[in-house]
Amino acid sequence: MSGTMYKSNIVGYSTHMKRRTDVNSVTNWNAPLVWEGTFDPVVIDAIYTKMDPRIAVVVFAVGKYTRFLKGFIESGEKHFMTGFRVTYYIFTDNKDQVPQVQLGKGHNISVLTVPSAKRWQEVVLGRMKWATTTIDEKIRNEADYLFMMDIDSVFGAESLSRLSAVLHRGYYKNTERDGFPYKRRPESKAYIPAGEGDYYYTAAVWGGYLEDMYRLVRYCYEQSEEDAKNKIEAVWQEESHLNKYLLYNKPTKVLSPEYLWSDYDKVPEDIKVVRISQLIKDYAQVRPNGGQ
């Protein structure tokens, strides 16, 4: 598959391509909403190959989640930004479990140590803390774009923008804003009032220009810390804060659920290509508190 990447509001269309009419391909704030069949990867590749950007991929493999590292990296080497400079920043509590994988030209792995956790929620919330610190101290000098992803995923293809967000597969067909699982408790920093909202985005894949991602990651970390001081934990941890941020800081590109589908779910007709797949797993086995 192509090593395609996108920036800002540019989407390439070839003259022979027929635009899809079964899906929306633009948001109400005029940002592209990317589906297979709504862009020409050849045009975009030609533009961005000349730029030679440095891409950072941040993933956390804590506890038993290290079992997913090999598949993640191997699929990334086949499908993620082939022909571009890529560094996988792997945060783990067990460096010995990081596999040796043959990497392509210009691709590297940087392993960073983080503490173990007793609750999977601690891992989720800790991602924002450690990512914020590491961007400040290290990644800022080594990358132009940054992707944050769940380790239990495998690549198919990808898209970058100044700030990209992926529609959650469980809610992308929802037409009622009050049907989104936003944090509705006013005491929480993730609070979104009833009747407000654009989409519901997943926190399993998000990416963009490094400084834009830094502002978003730092926001999620700081807001989670404020909630913790008040003994509040948003229902979906950083995903709740992510949705709050993106409501008032619109992404420059919205990616369809093709960019994170799940092996648990049947693929519907409007999903023409599964670009990133979330693997089936037994949460009771891989999560430190048995998935609770």
Tens of pLDDT, residues 197-209: 999 999 989 999 9
Backbone phi, psi, residue 29, to 5°: -110, 20
Q: Which tops the pLDDT comparison, 156 or 45?
A: 45
pLDDT band of residue 262 (cuts 50, 70, 90) is confident
Output the pLDDT for position 33.
93
User: Mean pLDDT of all residues in the chain?
Assistant: 83
pLDDT band of residue 160 (cuts 50, 70, 90) is low
pLDDT band of residue 279 (cuts 50, 70, 90) is low
- Model confidence pLDDT, tens digit, residues 10-38: 334 333 344 688 999 999 999 999 998 88
Please give the CATH superfamily to which domain 33-286 belongs.
Spore Coat Polysaccharide Biosynthesis Protein SpsA; Chain A (3.90.550.10)
Provide the H-helix boundaries in 199-282.
Answer: 210-229, 238-248
> What is the arithmetic mean of pLDDT over 44-69?
83
Helix count and strand count (H, E) for the chain: 6, 11
What H or E segment, with its residue span, contains residue 124? Answer: helix 120-137
3-state secondary structure of 21: coil
* Residue type at 266 in one-letter notation: K
What region does 249 belong to: left with phi over 0, alpha with psi -120 to 50, or beta?
beta
Nearest to 80 by CA among 19, 177, 2, 188: 2
> What is the arithmetic mean of pLDDT over 84-103?
93
**Angle in degrees, CA 198, 199, 203, rounded to 5:** 130
CA gyration radius, the chain: 18
C-alpha–C-alpha distance, residues 253 and 6, integer Å:
9
- Residues with Cβ within 8 Å of residue 100, at least 6 apart in sequence: none
What region does 13 belong to: left with phi over 0, alpha with psi -120 to 50, or beta?
beta
Is 176 in the active site? no
Contact 129, 50 (CB under 8 A): no
Output the pLDDT for position 278.
72
**Angle in degrees, CA 234, 237, 238, rounded to 5:** 120
Q: Which tops the pLDDT comparison, 3 or 240?
A: 240
Residue 81 DSSP label: S
Asked if the model's pLDDT at residue 136 lies above 60, the reply is yes
Contact 254, 202 (CB under 8 A): no
* Residue type at 56 in one-letter notation: A
pLDDT band of residue 121 (cuts 50, 70, 90) is low
**Lowest mean pLDDT across 161-170, 243-252, 274-283:** 274-283
Output the pLDDT for position 44.
65
C-alpha–C-alpha distance, residues 171 and 99, integer Å:
35
Catalytic residue among 77, 238, 239, 258: 239
